């Protein structure tokens, strides 16, 4: 698809990606808490299309935790988390699938496609894109059964690559197939990280509802601006639910070959563009151990 013919809005001149990012895949995880405002969803969709215009290949993996909880509440079903993961009965799984794929994904696809025929929605189940195995939650050193919650153990990126090659923007729901014929609820941060590694993405960007990783949460809002994978590995066991899967996802990504991972404030308009294309990314940036490849260098700032 021609990038100039198909999309009428979003002029490319404003945003020039650094040379090393041209043609690169960028996996963006858009968190449920940062998408509760429809205005923010539209601004996010606009930014994703800007990245596409600038010659990058964005892939969106979305969350939807608050939206799932609201629907469970409406249906009078229990909503409970252990170590940040939703306890998922077969009945809960039906609601997870319905809300993520039937509603949240559809809304995002609609917002992106308001700019042109770009986004295609899919789930990790499609074309065996994500295969997961059942995992427990670890609470106080003990494994707790949390039902149909999966860890992604295999990613087949072929369907996503085909969409990218055709000029599309894949929008992926974090639901995975199991080899045991079950369907698994996967934390969206970890799903995005697994997909970024499998696609050989240049960047993983996690948009959430805080300014980044706070050094002393919940006592201070001082953001950790940069850290290496080793530094993050040391911090990880002490992190609280919410930030834990995001930082674990960033760590797995940079250790899996992704050149940089960012946690950004999704409530700030254009945080995504500034994070990917700006000279100095806001939020928290995680780099591999020996990075001479500063992921924010050389761009013209939006």
Ligand X SMILES: Nc1ncnc2c1ncn2[C@@H]1O[C@H](COP(=O)(O)OP(=O)(O)O)[C@@H](O)[C@H]1O
Ligand Y SMILES: CC(=O)N[C@@H](CCC(=O)OP(=O)(O)O)C(=O)O
Q: Of the listed pieces 25-33, 54-62, 70-78, 107-115, which binds ligand X according to CB under 6 A?
A: 25-33
Give the contacts of 112 (CB within 8 A, at least 6 positions apart).
45, 48, 49, 60, 118, 119, 169, 171
When the beta carbons of 65 and 170 are compared against ligand X, the nearer one is 65
Please tell me the count of residues contacting ligand X according to CB under 6 A. Answer: 16
Selected binder of ligand Y within 131, 187, 193, 284 (CB under 6 A): 187
β pairing state of 284-287 and 226-228:
parallel
- 167 marked among binding-site residues: no
Selected binder of ligand Y within 17, 58, 147, 174 (CB under 6 A): 174
- Please report whether residue 214 would count as binding ligand X according to CB under 6 A: yes
Q: What is the DSSP string of 74-125?
A: HTT----EETTEE-B-HHHHHHHHHHIIIIIHHHHHHHHHTTSS-EEEEETT
Selected binder of ligand X within 159, 217, 255, 269 (CB under 6 A): 217
When the beta carbons of 19 and 216 are compared against ligand X, the nearer one is 216
Residue 284 forms beta bridges with which residues?
A: 263
CB of 250 to ligand X, least distance (A): 13
Q: At what angle do helices 65-74 and 90-99 cross, to 10 degrees?
A: 120
Three-class SS state of 178: strand
- Please report whether residue 191 would count as binding ligand X according to CB under 6 A: no
Per the CB < 8 A criterion, the answer to whether 174 and 129 are in contact is no
When the beta carbons of 186 and 254 are compared against ligand Y, the nearer one is 186
Quick count: other Cβ atoms within 10 Å of Cβ 75? 12
Quick count: other Cβ atoms within 10 Å of Cβ 238? 7
Q: Of the listed pieces 30-38, 154-162, 216-224, 230-238, which binds ligand Y according to CB under 6 A?
A: 30-38
Q: How far is CA 118 from CA 192, 219, 239, 263, in A?
A: 20, 42, 37, 25
Nearest residue relative to ligand Y (C-beta): 63
When the beta carbons of 36 and 159 are compared against ligand X, the nearer one is 36
Quick count: other Cβ atoms within 10 Å of Cβ 142? 8
CB of 189 to ligand X, least distance (A): 6
Rounded distance, CA 170 to CA 67, Å? 21
Residues 56-85 that bind ligand Y (CB under 6 A): 63-65, 68, 85
Residues 63-122 that bind ligand X (CB under 6 A): 63, 65
- Please report whether residue 271 would count as binding ligand X according to CB under 6 A: no
- 64 marked among binding-site residues: yes
Binding residue numbers for substrate? 64-65, 86, 185
Q: Which residues bind ligand X (CB under 6 A)?
A: 31-34, 63, 65, 208-210, 213-214, 217, 239-240, 242-243
Q: Which residues bind ligand Y (CB under 6 A)?
A: 31-33, 63-65, 68, 85-86, 96, 149, 174, 185, 187-188
């Amino acid at each position: 698809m021609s990038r100039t013919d198909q999309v009428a809005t979003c002029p490319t001149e404003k945003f020039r990606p650094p040379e090393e990012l041209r043609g690169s895949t960028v996996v963006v995880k858009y968190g449920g808490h940062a998408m509760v405002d429809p205005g923010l969803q539209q601004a996010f969709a606009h930014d994703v299309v800007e990245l596409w215009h600038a010659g990058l290949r964005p892939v969106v993996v979305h969350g939807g935790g608050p939206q799932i909880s609201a629907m469970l509440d409406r249906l009078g079903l229990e909503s409970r988390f252990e170590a940040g993961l939703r306890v998922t009965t077969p009945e809960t799984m039906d609601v997870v699938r319905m809300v993520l794929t039937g509603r949240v994904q559809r809304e995002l696809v609609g917002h992106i496609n308001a700019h042109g025929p770009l986004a295609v929605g899919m789930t990790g189940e499609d074309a065996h894109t994500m295969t997961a195995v059942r995992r427990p939650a670890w609470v106080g050193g003990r494994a707790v059964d949390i039902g149909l919650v999966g860890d992604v153990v295999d990613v087949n990126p072929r369907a996503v690559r085909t969409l990218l090659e055709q000029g599309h923007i894949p929008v992926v729901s974090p639901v995975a197939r199991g080899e045991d014929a079950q369907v698994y609820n996967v934390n969206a941060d970890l799903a995005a990280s697994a997909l970024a590694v499998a696609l050989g993405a240049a960047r993983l960007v996690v948009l959430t509802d805080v300014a980044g990783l706070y050094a002393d949460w919940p006592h201070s809002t001082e953001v950790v601006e940069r850290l290496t994978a080793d530094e993050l590995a040391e911090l990880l066991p002490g992190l609280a639910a919410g930030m834990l899967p995001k930082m674990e996802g960033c760590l797995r990504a940079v250790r899996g070959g992704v050149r940089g991972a960012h946690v950004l404030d999704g409530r700030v308009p254009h945080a995504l563009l500034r994070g990917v294309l700006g000279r100095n990314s806001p939020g928290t940036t995680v780099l591999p151990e020996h990075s001479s490849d500063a992921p924010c260098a050389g761009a013209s700032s939006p």
